[in-house]
Structure formats: structure tokens, C-alpha cells
Structure 1
Amino acid sequence: MPTNILLDTIRTRRGLKWGVPAMLIAVPYLLAAAALAAVVADGGPGWLNVLVVLFIWNAAKFAFIGPVSLILLARTRLHEARARRARSRYAVV
């Protein structure tokens, strides 16, 4: 849930610029997943596999938000530029 709140914040207009740096959050998740997978492989409790899957899922979400935020930012800036041109075209001087 906290990761979804962070991703929702990144998808806002003010947060789109943080999409690419947020991709770096995927690295600790992948490291934690690898460490827990090693613990399970060495005879640790099998329920840790649930955490491994959760960490991989969160890492994937953060890895994909970078390119998605760039696309959303480009689309938003295009809409804003069109709106500025339309306002200046019909502005009363």
C-alpha cells in the first residue's frame, strides 16, 4: 500500500518529474528479494517466498513508472502548450 501511494503521487502533474529517479527504488527491492531467496534456498522458512514475490512486484512497479512518467509528462506538456497557444491566439490586446 505505501508503494501505491507513492506511485499515485508520482502520477500527478507535480510528481511526474520524479518518475525516473523513482526507478532507483527498484534496486533495493531486488536486492532484498535476492537475499530472501538465498535464505529460502539455504533451508529457511518457505513463507519467505511470499516476501520475495512481493519485493519483485514492487521492484517491477517502480521500474515501469520511469518510462510511463516520461510519456505522461510529454503528453501533459503538449496539452499545456496547446492551451497556451489557444489562449494567446484569442487574447484581447
Structure 2
Amino acid sequence: MIRLLLAASIRTRSFLRRYMPSNILIDFIRTRRGLKWGVPAMLLAIPYLGIAYLLSTAAQNGGPGWLNLFVLVSIWSALKMLWIGPISLVLLTRAHAREYAQRRAARKSAAAEHDDREVDLMVAGGR
């Protein structure tokens, strides 16, 4: 029984991870190119909360009880959209720091290589 539940939860997670719009968007935002869209994506929490409100109202007014499942999914998606903003800012700051360090290391190695060439030319010219 536990094995069946575990298999069902893994398949459900895999399906939701692959096809839910919020998960697709978060996967894009977590790339280097998409980090700048994290804060504007926070605005998508508003429609998700609106959908949750409409579905909960429909469920309370005699609608089917399974609508509450979609209410939970909508609220969870809204929370993910709210969280991705600050997370993307931290990731963007880290990416900028890493890129700055790489540029600085490249400049330093280019300057060292230039100094080595000058020393080689001075040694070759002195012979």
C-alpha cells in the first residue's frame, strides 16, 4: 500500500513539475537569462489568488468538493510566485559577483601574461 502511494505521489509530482505553468515559469526564472524576471513574476500571485477565491466561493456555494483541491494548488502557485522574487534577487546578486570575479581574474591573467611577454622581450633583446 505504501509503495503504491509513493509511486502515485512521484508520478503526480513529475506531472505537475513538467506541465504546471508556474513550475515552467520558475524553471525559466532560475536560469541566468531569466533572473531579471523574478520580481515582475511576483505580480502573477494576484491572478492565482483570484482564481483561488473564485474556486473557493464556487465550492462553498454548492459546487463540487474537489474544487478545493484546485484552491490549494492555486494558493501554492501564488506562494511560489511570491517567493521567486526575493530568491531571484539573491541568485542574480550571486551571478553578478561570480561574473565580476571571473572578469577580474581574466584581466589579472591577461596583465600577467603581458608582463611575462615584456620580460621575455627584454631578455631576448639583451642577448
> TM-score when scaled to structure 2?
0.70
Distance 2:102 2:66 in 1: 53
Say what the alpha-carbon RMSD is for the aligned residues.
Answer: 0.9
Give the match for residue 18 of structure 1.
Answer: 37
2:105 aligned with 1:86: yes
Give the percent of matched residue pairs that are identical in Structure 1 and Structure 2. 55
Distance 1:59 1:83 in 2: 36
Distance 2:24 2:32 in 1: 15
Aligned-pair CA distance for 1:90: 1.2
By relative contact order (CA 8 Å, sep 6+), the higher-ranking structure is 1
What amino acid maps onto 1:30 in structure 2? L
1:66 to 82, 85, 88: 85
2:59 to 40, 62, 87: 40
Distance 1:31 1:6 in 2: 19
Q: Show structure 2 runs of 5+ residues with no match.
A: 1-18, 115-127
Distance 2:66 2:34 in 1: 35
Per the alignment, in what secondary structure is the counterpart of residue 65 of structure 1?
A: helix
Pairs aligned (count): 93
Q: Show structure 1 runs of 5+ residues with no match.
A: none
2:71 to 32, 52, 55: 52
Distance 2:26 2:59 in 1: 30
Distance 2:45 2:94 in 1: 25
**Bigger-Rg structure (1/2):** 2
Aligned-pair CA distance for 1:44: 1.4
Distance 2:24 2:50 in 1: 22
> TM-score when scaled to structure 1?
0.94
Q: List, as ranges, runs of 4+ consecutive aligned residues in structure 1 with deviation greater than 4 Å.
A: none
